[in-house]
Amino acid sequence: MIRCGTAAPPGQRGFTLIEMILAVVILATGLAVLYRSVIVNMTMITVSSQRQDVAYVFALGELKYPLRDIEDIEEDVPVDKDSSLAEGFVFSRTVDEKPDPEEGVEDDGLYVVRTVVTWADGKEREEIIRYLRNTTK
């Protein structure tokens, strides 16, 4: 009979095989969860960095092609693809074609303006849709 505090007989020291396998399984599960969380965090860092770069390109485009003091929205607002703002990004802006108002209906002067930034050779894109009112009419 073995009592607490006394040494075990010489042939019964250490862990059993089942205890060792259980410890390895618990350790492997913990490491797998940790590895997965690191991968998810790295992906989020990459996506966040890309979104920050896209916001920067939008800001650069708005500085270079402002939407103020425009006389003719359909002529002055559109911007052809401009890749000079930031390497790997393309900025463009279009105005949706506006249908002629029906007879007896006054033109509301609203135009849909789409600003697009693409990257990754056009595979990724971000778009902002705004409405401009032509107040000169």
Domain range for residue 86? 14-133
Say if 116 falls within a structural domain. Answer: yes
Return d(Cα 89, Cα 122) in angstroms, integer: 9
Say if 3 falls within a structural domain. Answer: no
Say if 5 falls within a structural domain. Answer: no
Say if 28 falls within a structural domain. Answer: yes
DSSP state of 10: G
Query: How far out from the chain centre does Cα 42 lie?
Result: 13
For every one of its 137 residues, what pLDDT tens digit does the chain have, with 9 covering 90 and above?
445 555 556 666 778 899 999 999 999 999 999 999 999 999 999 999 999 999 999 999 999 999 887 778 888 889 999 999 999 999 999 998 877 778 888 878 788 999 999 998 889 999 999 988 876 65
Say if 60 falls within a structural domain. Answer: yes
Say if 8 falls within a structural domain. Answer: no
The CA-CA-CA angle for residues 6, 9, 14, to 5°, reads 90
